[in-house]
Amino acid sequence: MESRFDGRIWIDLAAHILYNFGAMKWVYIEEIGAYPDQDVEVRGWVYNKRSSGKVRFILVRDGTGILQTTIFGTDESHPLFKKFDALTQETSLIVRGRVREDKRAPGGVELSLQDIEILQVAQDYPITPKEHSTPFLMEHRHLWLRSRKQHAVLQVRAEVIKAIRDFFDGRGFRLMDTPILTPSACEGTTTLFETQYFDQKAYLSQSGQLYNEATAMAFGKVYCFGPTFRAEKSKTRRHLIEFWMVEPEVAFALLEDTIELGEDLILFILERVLTRRKSDLEELERDAAPLEQVKKPFLRLTYEEALPKLQEKGSTIQWGDDFGAPEETIISDIYPSPVCITHFPAKIKAFYMQPDPERPDLALAVDFLASEGYGELIGGSQRIHDLDILEQRIKENNLPREAYQWYLDLRKYGTVPHSGFGLGVERTVAWISKIKHIRETIPFPRLLYRIYP
């Protein structure tokens, strides 16, 4: 047994190990292919082990990949065999050996071991290869993250976020972080988290959009990208209480411009993930073909064109009703690429949306519905640029005028038409990964009644 940490309080043996045995180069598994026939050190955890004839295999994970390491020997007194026997799942260790190319090994290389340094033998790791219930896994989310599938989804997530930022930065958009603590609501007040902000009330932001409109007038094209919060008492596989959203806003852009921007963004994200996260999609058994087929322009349907199609498929929706999950699913099941639904009834959309000049009862809004039943990815619109219309809308919606004074100012001092949208990161990741439940698309999901870990 070599658990160096057991019972040692003040003596940092780890430091000793890391510095004094460090004659070999510490490499990450994802880079190990660059060191053929060289001696290297890998630091990580036991993912699995097995024996087969004269070979002992240890699968070591270090967070960047899983590496097959081998001990070969016929003599049962081999010094590493005793250490091998002590290894349990998630035991932390440092291994050293020679990198060998081997076509049969996962990743094409394996490490022929010369030394094993055990840091801590993990006892009774709760997540075993057998099936566990979802509540159990959620309760152990901090450990569940180490599993292959969770790993793959979260690497897709990181790639999606990187793609989004590169897309906007590459097109000259300025990142303008908008505040989380806000004095008033953007869309309704029933689903807001409230907190005491010194001598007044504050609410957690549901969208950075109103602030984006101010920064768009200052910087031309901007985006914000941060967490948003909805205190919704809904328990569906598509909702999170806390989720990340990117929101671009462009001065002088009309509805059609924002639709094209959304198309380009989605195609950019898909291309990145399909190129760079192929192995993760394979791990998730995600058939890439439907994603590879996504092409622009996406189909555009007005709300009124969509209604009969929905009714045909059994929906009871009537003019003036909002789309629910069933309607989104019907639409997204019909078409292989995302579909843009536009020109919704103004009364079911947010107060700040520009009315259609020819049909003032309609809003110049767009929802992008993902293919394969994943529902809304993007919601956007052209914004009201006219001071009088905006004042009227604020009155109609009984919003406190004082809180919106600054927002009205944007229509007084050089108003211009402008448009933007919000894309939900977790919905996008769920769609691309073809994950059933959105809770797996974020490291620590916040769900109805769940805030641990």
Query: In 3-state terms, what secondary structure has residue 48?
Result: strand
- Asked if residue 217 lies in contact with residue 416, where contact means CB atoms within 8 angstroms, the answer is yes
- Alpha carbons 156 and 59: distance in angstroms, whole number: 23
218 binds a second copy per the rule CB under 8 A:
yes
Q: Which stretch binds a second copy (CB under 8 A): 95-103, 128-136, 145-153, 369-377?
A: 145-153
Angle between helices 255-276 and 148-170 (to 10 degrees): 140
Question: Closest distance between a second copy and the C-beta of residue 291, in Å?
Answer: 22
Residue number with CB closer to a second copy (25 or 54): 25
Question: Closest distance between a second copy and the C-beta of residue 88, in Å?
Answer: 9
Residue number with CB closer to a second copy (127 or 317): 127
Question: Closest distance between a second copy and the C-beta of residue 244, in Å?
Answer: 6
Rg, C-alpha atoms of the chain: 27
Instruction: Tell me which residues in 326-355 interact with a second copy (CB under 8 A).
Output: 354-355
Please write down the HEC assignment for all residues of 53-91. CCEEEEEEECCCCEEEEEEECCCCCCHHHHHHHHCCCCC
Residue number with CB closer to a second copy (208 or 338): 208
- What are the strands, taking DSSP E only, across 198-293? 200-204, 221-229, 242-251
Which residues on neighbouring strands pair with residue 366, listed in sequence order?
A: 342, 380
9 binds a second copy per the rule CB under 8 A:
yes
Question: Closest distance between a second copy and the C-beta of residue 405, in Å?
Answer: 8
Give the count of residues interacting with a second copy (CB under 8 A): 118
Residue number with CB closer to a second copy (60 or 294): 60
Residue number with CB closer to a second copy (134 or 293): 134
Q: How many CB atoms lie within 10 A of CB 368?
A: 24
294 binds a second copy per the rule CB under 8 A:
no
Instruction: Tell me which residues in 61-120 interact with a second copy (CB under 8 A).
Output: 62-64, 90-92, 119-120
One-letter amino acid at 107 equals: G
- Asked if residue 309 lies in contact with residue 335, where contact means CB atoms within 8 angstroms, the answer is no
410 binds a second copy per the rule CB under 8 A:
yes
Question: Closest distance between a second copy and the C-beta of residue 107, in Å?
Answer: 16
- Alpha carbons 48 and 17: distance in angstroms, whole number: 23
Residue in 155, 371, 428, 433 binding a second copy, rule: CB under 8 A? 155
Instruction: Tell me which residues in 412-431 interact with a second copy (CB under 8 A).
Output: 412-417
36 binds a second copy per the rule CB under 8 A:
no
Question: Closest distance between a second copy and the C-beta of residue 296, in Å?
Answer: 20
Residue in 1, 10, 20, 77 binding a second copy, rule: CB under 8 A? 10
Angle between helices 209-219 and 405-412 (to 10 degrees): 30
CA distances from 104 to 109, 119, 288 (A): 8, 29, 25
Rounded to 5 degrees, φ, ψ at 321 are -80, 145
Question: Closest distance between a second copy and the C-beta of residue 302, in Å?
Answer: 17
